[in-house]
Amino acid sequence: MSKSKNKGKKPQQNENKSKEELEIKAEETIDAADEVTDEEVAEEAEEIVEDAAEEAESDVIEESGEEAESDESGEEEEEEPEKAPRKKIELHVPTEESRANEEFRKLHFIEKCKKDPIIPVCIILAILALIVAGIYFMLPNAKTPSMGMTLSEFQTRFNDGAVAQSLLNNGLDFSFRMPEYVDSTSHPSVLGDKAVFTANRAYADFFDGPFKYYSYGGVEGATRKSDGNLSYVRVYVNYGEEEFNTVWLYTSNVICALYPDLTMYPAMDVAMKAMKEYDGDPRFYVRGDYAFRLVAVKKAADGGGEIVYIVVDCVPKSILNESQIRENLDTMFETTASESVTETSAATT
């Protein structure tokens, strides 16, 4: 606002000054009129007035232009932001230490080790740490082989086996509930000293539980702590004078759980073969990734006397050597199963 007011005042003052100058010059011309003629006086007075008017206008225009330029430059100076101070450029002069480090980097690895013995020591310690970590994580799996399936998966395979489903359709339930985990010291294995394979308590958890409706039998085994996979599993069934078919059907269904590709009758053929050939031989039948055998054991009954159990002992094939294998059943299924065994299985069913 103050700048706009000033702009209006300065031209008026210049105009007043020019008028006063004109009047003074006019008076001077009038005084000089006594010496010249009227016409000459008039012409000279007009010329003087015109020159004075032109000078006054030019002065006013120049002053107003200068003021406008000064106002614009003032506004630009006010709006222009302050510039940040320039950063100083620092020149890094290489020192003796930096030159030595650069030369050390260019050396061959062996030469570096010769100059700095800490390098090979650190490498040796790192290798030892890897070895210890490998032993820590791999030793449990090496000492406790896996069957490649969990207890839950085995339960599903067993309960959904072809033999179990066929019996269920006829009103017989051969399934088992999920067993509980137990302390292996207070719940020893049903096999006792006949167990060929067991698991280390530091690396495995042990389970044991009865069948769902058949009280004289159950399932036991161990699972690895590292991944929950089965280390081994055993299904045991009471064997009495009238329990042959029960043992045969349970054994057949265990084979269905181990080998889901087998249908009911081939699985029953394998179970019948193993029961007929049983003579106390502790070796295993193998097929695929699994191995099984039949073991007869005696246990003291609660009311006195003894109970005989037939145990279907299932383990990974990888833990066995050649001397522990009785027969490889893979060759048995390359040709058609024996007709006599199949007919016996069908007639018994």
What is the full per-residue pLDDT of the chain (349 aa) written as tens digits? 444 444 444 445 555 555 566 666 666 655 554 554 555 545 665 666 566 556 655 654 555 555 444 444 444 444 555 655 665 555 555 677 777 667 767 767 677 676 677 777 787 778 877 776 665 555 555 668 899 999 999 999 999 999 999 999 988 888 888 999 999 888 899 999 999 888 888 889 999 998 887 778 899 999 999 889 999 999 999 998 778 899 999 999 999 999 999 999 999 999 999 999 999 999 999 999 999 999 999 988 777 788 899 999 999 999 999 999 999 998 876 644 444 455 455 555 4
Q: Which helix (H) or strand (E) holds 20?
A: helix 2-32
Give the pLDDT score at 254.
Answer: 96
Which structural domain range is residue 26 located in?
2-76
Contacts of 322 (CB under 8 A, 6+ apart): none
Q: Do 202 and 334 lie in a common domain?
A: yes
In-domain check, residue 64 = yes
Buried/exposed 305-336: b ≥16 CB within 10 Å, e otherwise: eeeebbbbbbbbbebbeeebeebebeebeeee
Q: Do 139 and 162 lie in a common domain?
A: no
- How many domains does the chain fold into? 3
End-to-end CA distance of the chain: 115
In-domain check, residue 89 = no
The last residue of one of the domains, among 76, 109, 128, is 76
Do the bridges between strand 180-182 and strand 204-210 make them parallel or antiparallel, or are there none, so unpaired? antiparallel
Give the pLDDT score at 74.
Answer: 47
Q: Do 138 and 165 lie in a common domain?
A: no
